[in-house]
């Protein structure tokens, strides 16, 4: 998981360290006699190793043990399903297992060149393997099975074994699809709507339902033979593999070299990564929430580039000519000649379409009705609305509450007047206060982090003043970041919602609020457990007059952060005051489950004063625990979590249709027990604040997104319990409807 904390551009000590590294490296390059046209890959290795050794918080020792780790990670990254390499390839590669440290020091690319060339060869061979397999109908009456635990699988000894592995893997995929098609066919013959039937399964996705609905419409009720369905299934599977290999073909040597480099950086810690130029650009967009372009999401569709979505408010959306589903055939810059982009890599098409604000791009597109049209769009700054904080209000027991959702701690480092999470959350709190809410829920579930400075700003909205987080750099005294503003934006009841994917900046916020006892932390047993700080360093700054082009950037761990009570969130995360059952509670998905993770430790606490103005704090926690313990829906979620955990080790599937059906039916029958989890709905009505109602009245896309969010909130038992906690934190008397105990028990039994 690639969870970012911060660029830390405001930390002058880090800036000084980078400048010193830069000066040293300039001298080093000149002394080494690097010529005016150096090999880019060797230069990258030189830059990376030097910057990591000088700038990483705890640099790894580059020795044979390090070499073994890089070897393991890299080979696994190249062929995770063991579908390409033969055992003979691995035997040849293994000679380098303890030599990669020496190759790294000497900037030797022998191992990379060997593995890259071999992978290209094996991938080309695999194309003919799967195409040959797809030509022949599968016999699903044979009693055989396939084990999907690739980690424990051996590499194929020869091409025959590899072909057999491909055959079984494809057969499992087609078997799953064919049984679903047969079920739809059977339901159709009985007069049961395919979509309604598919909804019976607990794990059916919306995309699957849409596909079934589309297929149903195309078939016009025609009953197909088994042979026709079997052939359709193979053709569909082949199309998927064609698209997969099409994507793989789009990757060039630089992409694979990035994989190799990241296997090296992973040996330092999980959050030290190399960003190729395109990745660095995507990272900048993700952390700032904005880009300059036309405001459209693109996806690959065979040889074509398809418009998958228009970003609300962007120039393409405003122009009302480009539509989702349009295929981009040509791209022209202003009045220049159009360039054919059919068959071009998606990244290259994106580069041609994106561009500076105020410039023109002309797209030749094939519309969904088959017509061809040239569309002129003036590029502009595009804000990705899903990146930003949003809020909703709900009335419960006669009181009004606000729910703020923060997807990440975003910031625009290039523009101090640009949007950032700190300013936006302050604005949402101000709006909620104007709406006279009686409590606030701040939801940072699935929030992977972002800017450190915004955490300090947000935490400062809820306390008078004081320390928020402690930071330690290698060989230096700790630094304490304070909220120095005495103003409190919100002094009322506060609940912070977290889960096991709340990481980094989210954990700092939750930890600070918890240490101050300023609000109640509710959610998973513990958060992700990332307690490290990263800086993104532009590698181009270290090379003068380079002729190799953009070298990308290195995100490296430079510091660790600590709670104000002195404890680290590394590995341990933040333990919730109130633990709510989680469907994925028993799966290994935290920092503690990642290789090369840095250890937990502790430093001295910072002086701070615990907040004593929250009424009923301990009582609210006890009440919630009592409710959760007796809530049938939560009991069901806990039982489901244990079942999911037990199934995570079931990796062998029968390729005999009858046995496969029996196994799948048993799973689906068991899954029916957990159907109420997805069907749950509370009686709460969530709505937008007045300013947003005005915006959505002019923007149908935004209105639809908000309606979907409000609907999801009304189905979210976790949000409902967070609001219950706000009830219990109230100073004022709440007039609740009294429910007789007998009726209450009946309601629980039905929930």
* Active-site residue list: 504, 515, 530
Q: Which of 413, 511, 414, 407 is nearest to 459 (CA)?
A: 511
Distance CA 144, CA 159 (A): 20
Distance CA 302, CA 246 (A): 7
Distance CA 170, CA 484 (A): 61
| 33 exposure class (CB count in 10 Å sphere: 0-12, 13-18, 19+) | exposed
CB 62 within 8 A of CB 104: yes
Chain Cα centroid distance, residue 613: 37
User: C-alpha dihedral over 326, 328, 330, 334, to 10 degrees?
Assistant: 80
Chain Cα centroid distance, residue 100: 31
Helix (H, G, I), strand (E, B) or coil at 331: strand
CB 373 within 8 A of CB 411: no
Distance CA 738, CA 21 (A): 68
What distance, in Å, lies between the first and last C-alpha atoms of the chain? 35
CA angle 708, 637, 195 (to 5 degrees): 50
HEC states along 459-472?
A: HHCCCCCEEEEEEE
Distance CA 234, CA 128 (A): 15
CB 16 within 8 A of CB 22: no
Helix (H, G, I), strand (E, B) or coil at 561: strand
Task: Give the CA count within 13 Å in the CB-facing half-sphere of 500.
Answer: 18
What is the C-alpha radius of gyration for the chain, rounded to an integer number of angstroms?
28
Q: Which of 404, 410, 278, 388 is nearest to 4 (CA)?
A: 410
């Amino acid at each position: 998981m690639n969870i970012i904390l911060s660029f830390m551009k405001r930390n002058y000590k880090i800036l000084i360290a980078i400048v010193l590294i830069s000066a040293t490296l300039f001298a080093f390059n000149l002394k080494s006699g690097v010529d005016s046209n150096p090999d880019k890959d060797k230069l990258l290795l030189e830059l990376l190793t030097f910057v990591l050794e000088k700038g990483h918080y705890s640099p790894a020792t580059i020795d044979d043990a390090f070499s073994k780790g890089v070897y393991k990670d890299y080979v696994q990254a190249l062929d995770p399903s063991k579908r390409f390499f033969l055992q003979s390839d691995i035997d040849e590669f293994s000679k380098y297992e303890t030599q990669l440290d020496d190759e790294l020091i000497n900037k030797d690319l022998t191992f990379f060149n060997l593995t890259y060339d071999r992978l290209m060869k094996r991938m080309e061979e695999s194309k003919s393997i799967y195409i040959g397999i797809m030509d022949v109908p599968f016999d699903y009456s044979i009693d055989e099975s396939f084990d999907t635990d690739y980690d424990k699988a051996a590499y194929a000894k020869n091409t025959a074994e590899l072909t057999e592995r491909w055959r079984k893997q494809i057969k499992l995929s087609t078997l799953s699809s064919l049984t679903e098609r047969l079920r739809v066919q059977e339901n159709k013959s009985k007069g049961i709507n395919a979509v309604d039937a598919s909804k019976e399964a607990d794990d059916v996705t919306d995309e699957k339902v849409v596909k079934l609905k589309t297929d149903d419409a195309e078939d016009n009720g025609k009953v197909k033979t088994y042979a026709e369905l079997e052939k359709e299934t193979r053709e569909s599977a082949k199309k998927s593999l064609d698209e997969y290999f099409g994507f793989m073909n789009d990757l060039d040597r630089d992409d694979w070299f990035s994989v190799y480099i990241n296997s090296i950086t992973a040996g330092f810690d999980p959050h030290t990564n190399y960003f190729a130029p395109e990745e660095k650009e995507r990272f900048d967009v993700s952390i700032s929430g904005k880009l300059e372009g036309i405001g459209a999401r693109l996806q690959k569709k065979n040889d074509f580039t398809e418009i998958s979505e228009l970003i609300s408010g962007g120039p393409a959306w405003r122009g009302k000519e480009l539509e989702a589903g349009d295929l981009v055939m040509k791209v022209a810059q202003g009045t220049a000649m159009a360039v054919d982009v059919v068959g071009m890599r998606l990244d290259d098409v994106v580069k041609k379409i994106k561009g500076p604000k105020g410039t023109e791009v002309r797209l030749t597109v094939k519309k969904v009705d088959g017509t061809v049209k040239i569309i002129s769009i003036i590029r502009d700054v595009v804000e990705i609305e899903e990146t930003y904080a949003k809020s909703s209000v709900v009335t419960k027991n006669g009181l009004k509450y606000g729910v703020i959702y923060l997807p990440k701690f975003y910031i625009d480092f290039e523009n101090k007047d640009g949007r950032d999470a700190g300013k936006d959350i302050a604005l949402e709190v101000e709006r909620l206060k104007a709406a006279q809410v009686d409590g606030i829920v701040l939801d940072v579930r699935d929030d992977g982090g972002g800017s450190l400075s915004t955490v300090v700003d947000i935490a400062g909205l809820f306390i008078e003043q004081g320390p928020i987080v402690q930071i330690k750099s290698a060989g230096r005294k700790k630094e304490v970041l304070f909220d120095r503003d005495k103003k409190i934006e919100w002094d009322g009841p506060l609940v912070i919602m977290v889960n096991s994917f709340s990481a980094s900046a989210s954990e700092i916020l939750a930890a600070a609020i918890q240490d101050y006892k300023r609000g109640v932390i509710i959610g998973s047993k513990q958060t992700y457990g990332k307690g490290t700080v990263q800086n993104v360093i532009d590698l181009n700054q270290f090379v003068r007059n380079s002729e190799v082009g953009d070298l990308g950037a290195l995100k490296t761990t430079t510091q660790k952060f600590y709670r104000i009570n002195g404890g680290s969130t590394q590995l341990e995360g933040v333990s919730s005051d109130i633990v709510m059952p989680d469907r994925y509670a028993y799966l290994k998905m935290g920092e503690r489950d990642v290789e090369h993770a840095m250890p937990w430790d502790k430093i001295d606490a910072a002086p701070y004063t615990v907040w004593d103005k929250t009424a009923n704090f301990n009582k609210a926690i006890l009440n919630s625990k009592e409710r959760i313990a007796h809530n049938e829906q939560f009991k069901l979620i806990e039982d489901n979590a244990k079942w999911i955990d037990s199934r995570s080790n079931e990796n062998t599937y029968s390729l005999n249709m009858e046995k496969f059906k029996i196994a799948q039916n048993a799973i689906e029958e068991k899954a029916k027990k957990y159907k109420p989890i997805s069907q749950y709905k509370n009686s709460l009505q969530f709505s937008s604040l007045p300013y947003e109602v005005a915006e959505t009245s002019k923007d149908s896309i935004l209105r639809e997104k908000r309606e979907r969010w409000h609907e999801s909130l009304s189905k979210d038992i976790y949000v409902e319990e967070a609001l219950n906690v706000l009830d219990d934190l109230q100073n004022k008397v709440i007039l609740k409807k009294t429910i007789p105990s007998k009726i209450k028990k009946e309601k629980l039994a039905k929930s």
